[in-house]
Structure 1
């Protein structure tokens, strides 16, 4: 519910200088956390009249640890007072959401070898208020400590951030909310959305104090959702993709009949059941499948796992990494209010989460629960991507248990067009949508910004993909 004037008066707003940067501070009454932010830094989004906030959620977790979670908010370029609020999270696990901001769909990007950003005409803040968050702690500009050792334990910290954001900026309370993510976001998306909904129920029951998150949509592109299913897709993609055949028919049959289905990969997952399997069983399953299926195909071919048309040497050059150099500039760091050295995908947070077997766990069940709850869901994938390929995403959606599952499974893919130009194939039934995007790698909006913006806009509008 909206903040009352009396409740708002109990909160504190003040200015504070840290290492030469002056922040606006918002601290909720009785909370051990506060929101620090710089307003309108002039970095990245330079569209006149568009407000930005960047800074930290600062939280005292216990006597020995403090969390500083970085966020960057961009107001919608059009109708910001009514546009939805969208949270973007990159995957990894342990990769910064500045990837999505600068390389994919943020207000600015780096083009034609420039060392300075320019406005992105296909930015998602054309239609939504965009919020980019670096999590878990240690990723991007976030620093300090937290107890997030898995997807499940990370969900609460993001929820706590959103509660502070709503309190500091009450105009976004009760606003339509969407969560979009990619890659390891195939874990984050279903679990975080499910957690938000459970917290909403607890708030309604009076057992939790907080603001309801009005979740209307979940989008996951090239997501790692159900490893057991998606490992089976590696030989399918390797043989059948239309760009770069990686294995012969005989090899394909060997992988399908022996390595995946019966002898190695699928049986290994018997001990890693959903979220209940032991850490060791899940670690063993992931390692077994990688050794049996994924690694041999990668080692036998010279290709970029994020774009099979490119050689392996291009994995760190396309999209451009110029943005990371830009974010190391002292003037930029000071302007946006960052207090740490930028780390795109540091090994520490990754290792902490992977050590619990999290990577091998399935999030098919929470995804199905989110679909069944009525939230509009888009599972989409660029068809140049190997690592989380579209065949695997299709296996995932065709195995989701929800009320319209039979209709969805029976449907064939049809062309998805933008102004009459084909950009992929899709199908939809009820509130579940699947989209294969042509000639797009792992970061779909970078490769196909027009298609991506249309799909994004449609999910926020009525939650159903349709050709134009």
Structure 2
């Protein structure tokens, strides 16, 4: 008896989450278990047993995982883990999640940000999450490019066009395997995915093939979209959060004097006007003078005050918590979850030495592409009129004001930058928590700002760090609702569309 036959037999015993099945040329509608929407003789080799996944004390639901080739542009395979949604409005759409790095595994987003089961640092075991993105949409987590996470082989890319070509070869196969021709596609991710995603999206657009590459929007959080001298303008953020840093008066006077000498905050004050200045100010080059490399001195000083200073989330403190993803390495604990042999076997991948991030395997000579804001991002906005850039206020790797300055120097849909200040509220409706019905466990109310002009939305989240779904899951969920068209704006006060 095949795996598919066993699952079909079991389905007649338990069918508590029935949904409409997809037609399939091999498995008839009568025989196919209705709760497994994408199971067929073609996909059964990727089927993951959700009722007995290692160390997870509950059923994670229908999912599929494994490797698909990225040829002919590549010479290896990319790993994916696909979670169908039971939400009826997700029937003809698929959302992609990509981590950054470069060289970081998207399984980090699955396990600690927005996946169907959540295992945060310092916790005993995975838990359910009411803000899982597959409550809203079919979602697939992909380790790309080759050499990242569970995707085997040696990277052969020199730039983002290489990445796009290899990814698109993989993606065509994914769509055909799961019979998703014509599905609306949304691409989401964070950090260095601010480079990956606009270039991959441009590749989708250039294909002119809505059967496989029907791009409808992208979202990039705390993204790498410009040069570091724009994104990492640190002293203004230090001053705003001076009570969190608690650095001494001597240091603060010195760092501000250096900032004034180098014109760092002066640049921001001139750039962040609405509409933008006709003669946009030149960006300071901090590498021209050692006194201007203030970010490095600030982080060094912060680590003296707080040895567990986390540039990804300013309010973290000691001790480091045990982390099933193995980050930071000092807190790896008893083992890295996706390095377990039983987990890798369940995901249909050969045994490998998994690590969360490995930048050395990606661009051996550095990424030779121009920053996405200076390249494909405006084109993607114009093609979709549905792009969201999110940013956490507590991120000290890339700064909110640096991202805004980038937007103000970018031209799309016939004008440069935002014409009005991006100050409207990001409103997240109150909803009962899943852990405690009296607890709002995802964050609700006014959680930040949100502003839309000419197809681009910029949304900031007050208490979030670099990873918005991890630190503010309610806000991240709401942003996704906007991307998918479930709500009209981030000022909408209508209820969440959670599927619990």
Q: TM-score, normalised by structure 1?
A: 0.76
Say yes or no: does 1:308 pair with 2:308: no
Displacement of 1:363:
3.6
CA distance in 2, matches of 1:287, 1:100: 33
Say yes or no: does 1:72 pair with 2:96: no
Indicate which of 332, 339, 364 corresponds to 1:328. Answer: 339
Displacement of 1:395:
1.6
CA distance in 1, matches of 2:142, 2:289: 32
Say yes or no: does 1:91 pair with 2:95: no
CA distance in 1, matches of 2:88, 2:455: 26
8 A contact 1:36–1:57 mirrored in 2: no
SS at match of 2:146: coil
CA distance in 2, matches of 1:251, 1:143: 45
CA distance in 1, matches of 2:186, 2:337: 29
CA distance in 1, matches of 2:242, 2:476: 21
Q: Closer, same or farther in 2 for the Cα pair 1:312/1:147, shift >3 Å?
A: farther
Q: Closer, same or farther in 2 for the Cα pair 1:289/1:435, shift >3 Å?
A: farther
- 1:217 maps to 217
- 1:446 maps to 470
8 A contact 1:319–1:446 mirrored in 2: no
5+ residue gaps in structure 2?
Answer: 1-22, 27-38, 268-284, 304-308, 431-444, 494-500
CA distance in 1, matches of 2:366, 2:384: 31
Q: Closer, same or farther in 2 for the Cα pair 1:90/1:286, shift >3 Å?
A: farther
Q: Which has the larger radius of gyration?
A: 2
Q: Closer, same or farther in 2 for the Cα pair 1:92/1:338, shift >3 Å?
A: same
Within-5 A mapping of 1:23-62: 37-42=45-50, 43=53, 50-58=61-69
- 1:465 maps to 490
More deviation, 75-84/152-161: 75-84
Say yes or no: does 1:391 pair with 2:391: no
- 1:124 maps to 133
- 1:276 maps to none
Q: Closer, same or farther in 2 for the Cα pair 1:257/1:214, shift >3 Å?
A: farther
Q: Closer, same or farther in 2 for the Cα pair 1:253/1:358, shift >3 Å?
A: farther
Higher share of residues assigned helix: 1
More deviation, 101-110/368-377: 368-377
Within-5 A mapping of 1:281-320: 292-302=293-303, 303-311=309-317, 314=320
Q: TM-score, normalised by structure 2?
A: 0.72
CA distance in 2, matches of 1:242, 1:416: 24
- 1:415 maps to 425
- 1:159 maps to 168
CA distance in 2, matches of 1:314, 1:358: 35
CA distance in 2, matches of 1:429, 1:83: 27
More deviation, 327-336/308-317: 308-317
Displacement of 1:345:
0.5
8 A contact 1:229–1:396 mirrored in 2: no
- 1:251 maps to 255
User: How well do the aligned residues superpose, as a CA RMSD in angstroms?
Assistant: 3.6
SS at match of 2:448: strand
Q: Closer, same or farther in 2 for the Cα pair 1:412/1:346, shift >3 Å?
A: closer
CA distance in 2, matches of 1:397, 1:409: 11
CA distance in 1, matches of 2:254, 2:477: 40
8 A contact 1:105–1:445 mirrored in 2: yes
8 A contact 1:115–1:326 mirrored in 2: no
SS at match of 1:144: coil
| Deviation string, structure 1 residues 185-220 (Cα, Å, up to 9, x no partner) | 1111211111211122xx58xxxxxx4411111101
CA distance in 2, matches of 1:80, 1:145: 39
CA distance in 1, matches of 2:143, 2:447: 30
| Deviation string, structure 1 residues 285-333 (Cα, Å, up to 9, x no partner) | 8976998243222223223110112248749859985797222222222
Q: Closer, same or farther in 2 for the Cα pair 1:227/1:60, shift >3 Å?
A: closer
CA distance in 1, matches of 2:152, 2:287: 30
Displacement of 1:249:
5.8
SS at match of 1:143: coil
Displacement of 1:119:
2.0
CA distance in 2, matches of 1:49, 1:356: 38
CA distance in 2, matches of 1:93, 1:252: 32
